[in-house]
Structure 1
Amino acid sequence: MTSQPEDRSAALGEDDRDTAVRRVQGAYAEGHLSHEEMDERLHDVLTARTRGDLATVLSSLPAPPAETTATIAAAGGRIVRRGAWRVPRFLTVASAFGRVRLDLSRAVIEHPVVDIELQLGTGNARITVPRDAVVDLDALQTEWKDLRYRPPSSPRPGGPTIRISGAVGYGRVRIRHSWR
């Protein structure tokens, strides 16, 4: 099976531009670019109109790290992740009858956006996110009980975006920000 070539004339989305900005900033932080080169490339990224324009700006930079995907599944019982665990870019958590506890407050989060997909039958999920995280719950469906989440009254900038999606049958989802 052959892959289709990327359409270099396609218009850019905000995600494409944001990813390119982070890649240029990362190359500068790792010492691959001087400050002047970074400024020039950021200007080029912000004024680019097509994917081809972006490809030209990013062509000489080191390749970005591979996206990571992980699945945590259990038929029953508990699913617990806490402490200094590495959070993948895409995480699927599936449980038919058990409880889920995800604590991201001390976790190693290397990606600016983390997608967590919940596939829960019965059982509750409690997710603790970093204090400065932005939580997006638009794609999460709860069937029986309501979702419990209160955004911080004074959000801190610069944290990761945690997008939580999926479906929860008869359990409750509670999301809170850590105190530290």
Structure 2
Amino acid sequence: MTAQFPEPSPRPVPTEALRASHNDREAVVEQLRDAAAEGRIDFDELDARLERALTAKTHGELALLTADLPPTHSSSAAAESLSPLVLKGGISGASRGPGRWEVPGHVVAHGGVGGVSLDFTRVECRLAEVVVEAYGETSGVTVVIPDGWGVDTGGIDPGFGGLTDRTTPDRLPGTPLIRLTGSGGIGGVVVRHPSKRERRKLGTS
């Protein structure tokens, strides 16, 4: 008998429906054990959640297990202790991502003449929020965040170039908040989810 697989969907797959990896499950197991050690959950509940974590198939199933827990102190403290990441567009432009990179609690992006691209789609970030200080200057700053992440644009001055927010408001429990500050300058600041072409590269469409 030939195994039947679902037909590929032409529509983007929500982040919560993406398949979880071994590393994803192990990260949640570590967070649950830390929570039990801190007295946030009892050991009976820990056992129940660990069993569900180890058999979870999707990001959404894992997110439900830690939705009522803060990020682990070890991971968040380590990230917050990192020096701010400073990107300067200069003449040729600058970018970080879409590969995996270590996310600090504070990122500063100066668009310059070449522009800056900041892509969070492949990172594993345990911080509750990341401050992105964006200055569009001449050629602008583009920030790309995964589906399910949240963004707060209240701290940014649109300037002449303006602020373009193409994100959706449906933030998932346990995901980071990108807090945008700075100014649009002439080039403007754009924050969005991945495009169709980027989703194809990510394997989510």
TM-score (norm 1): 0.62
Q: Offset at 1:108?
A: 2.8
Q: Offset at 1:30?
A: 3.4
- What residue number does 1:108 align with? 124
Q: Offset at 1:78?
A: 0.9
Residues 101 and 138 of structure 1, relative CA distance in 2, 3 Å threshold: same
Counterpart mapping for 1:54-133 below 5 A = 64-65=77-78, 67-68=81-82, 69-82=84-97, 83-133=99-149
Q: Give the secondary-structure state (helix, strand or coil) at the position aligned to 1:139.
A: strand
Amino acid at match of 1:38: R
Cα deviation code 1:19-69 (max 9, x no counterpart): xxxxxxx875337717xx3359xxxxxxxxxxxxxxxxxxxx989435222
Q: Offset at 1:105?
A: 0.7
Counterpart mapping for 1:1-180 below 5 A = 29-30=33-34, 33=37, 37-39=39-41, 64-65=77-78, 67-68=81-82, 69-82=84-97, 83-152=99-168, 154-178=170-194, 180=204
Note the aligned Cα RMSD (angstroms).
Answer: 3.0
Amino acid at match of 1:67: S
Identical-residue share of aligned pairs (%)? 22
Cα contact 2:88–2:110 (8 A) shared by 1: yes
Cα contact 2:110–2:141 (8 A) shared by 1: no
- What residue number does 1:11 align with? none
Structure 2: distance between partners of 1:113 and 1:88: 10
How many residue pairs align between the two structures?
134
Cα contact 1:137–1:165 (8 A) shared by 2: yes
Cα contact 1:76–1:95 (8 A) shared by 2: no
Question: Quick check: which one's strand share is greater?
Answer: 1
Cα deviation code 1:123-145 (max 9, x no counterpart): 02221101111100001112112
Amino acid at match of 1:29: R
TM-score (norm 2): 0.55
